Amino acid sequence: MLALLLSTAALSLSGGAPAAIEADGVAVPESIPFQDLEEQRAVSAVNAARSARGLEALVFSPILSEAAAWKARDLRLGALAHEDRQGRSIRERFTDFGYPANTFISENLARGFATGAGVVAAWMDSPGHRANILGGDVIAYGISRAQRSTGANDWDWVLTFGSHADGPQPGAGAPPASDRLTVPLVPGWNLVSWQGDWISGPTLRETLPDSVLSVTTWDLPSGSWLGVLPFHNINQLAYIGPGQPLWVWSEGPGNWRQPLAATSGREVALATGWQLVSWQGADDVALSVALASILPRVRSAARFDPQTQTYELFIPGMPVASFLAVSQGDAFWLLVDGEALWLSGGVG
């Protein structure tokens, strides 16, 4: 497969972008609200290249990451181009996601690279992409990749840059306790979700009750678990975002006090098959109502009951079900028979 690269940059207050630079290169999984291993490796390679030239490391931007994740999904259905299938330029797309207009922005795209190291090496060999990575006008980044097919190298990559930092940084401390959700934990496994804003792995550790021994999430691209082990000083999570499902092992009862995200509801891109999702809406909503917009696609749903350490089941159209309603923060498995967009927190 021929790998492709594309880069663009836009000056502050610019409404458009200069001509893209294309070059041959050597590949960019389903977008999920945390950085997977290869995305983390790509960021490490980018910041290593900047450090070697005396430049500051780029910091994480939730807005740029959301814009990158959306674009990665969009690329799966179209050509490798900065203008998306809605006809938006990168400036228009970044602005729609909430990035300030009076900023410098740029973006690197790639297709056909399986690893973070591989895509960054190819970008560094291309003058336009290299200039974006080593830009002195940018301080923040977002990154995402999405798999176009089952091919090992059939990935689309999106790396976004900006001159405005909007996200949490490692060492910044836990968010304020103004509005919080209490997540009860029982001894053993608990399937829950993170309901706060984007947060770094080290800061996530600060929010955990003392009873928690591990927090893990499934990394779909690598087919492995990534986690935080507080008492072993192990952290494999760079950042997680609102709604991220998490398996939590607690050695005793406890309460996890989570700061609520500034905005409720999240658009979730569903792929064919099973996936972990979470509900970010009101309490005690009938599951059939919560899933109404995608119900024709839903084949089954299963929620883990921490009290019995077993699953409750929901199958549309079946008269008997043990999984009937969802409340804010509930995480569960969902089986769909095709791709769909679901607003977690919306009804109808």
pLDDT in tens, the chain (348 residues): 346 666 665 544 333 222 222 222 222 223 334 677 788 889 989 999 999 999 999 988 888 988 898 888 888 878 888 988 888 899 999 988 889 988 999 999 999 998 999 999 999 999 999 999 999 999 999 998 888 766 666 889 999 999 998 865 544 444 454 567 889 999 999 999 998 888 888 888 889 999 999 999 877 656 677 888 877 777 778 788 888 899 999 999 999 998 887 666 677 878 888 888 999 888 999 999 999 989 999 999 999 999 898 999 999 988 778 899 999 889 999 999 988 888 888 664
Residue 32 lies in a domain: yes
Nearest to 74 by CA among 151, 148, 177: 148
Are 231 and 325 found together in one domain?
Answer: no
Are 270 and 243 found together in one domain?
Answer: no
- 342 - beta bridge partners? 268
How far CA 343 is from CA of 72, 266, 278, 280, 348, in Å, comes to 19, 5, 10, 9, 10
Domain end, chosen from 259, 287, 306, is at 259
Measured over the CA atoms of residue 43, residue 4, residue 341 and residue 67, the dihedral's sign is positive
Degrees to nearest 5, angle at CA 97 with 16 and 336: 120
Q: Give the C-alpha separation, 46 to 63, whole Å.
A: 19
User: Residue 86 has what pLDDT?
Assistant: 84
- 24 - beta bridge partners? 4
Domain end, chosen from 259, 287, 302, is at 259
Q: Which domain holds residue 32?
A: 3-162
Are 24 and 123 found together in one domain?
Answer: yes
CB 204 within 8 A of CB 240: yes
Domain end, chosen from 227, 259, 291, is at 259
User: Residue 227 has what pLDDT?
Assistant: 83
Are 153 and 202 found together in one domain?
Answer: no
Domain count, the chain: 3
Are 25 and 121 found together in one domain?
Answer: yes
Residue ranges in the chain assigned as alpha helix (H): 37-51, 62-75, 90-96, 116-124, 127-133, 201-207, 287-290
For the CA atoms of the chain, what is the radius of gyration?
20
CB 141 within 8 A of CB 64: yes
Residue 174 lies in a domain: no
User: Residue 151 has what pLDDT?
Assistant: 63
CB 281 within 8 A of CB 248: no
CB 317 within 8 A of CB 256: no
Are 136 and 202 found together in one domain?
Answer: no
Residue 173 lies in a domain: no
Degrees to nearest 5, angle at CA 48 with 42 and 51: 145
Residue 167 lies in a domain: no
Q: Give the C-alpha separation, 158 to 142, whole Å.
A: 8
Residue 170 lies in a domain: no
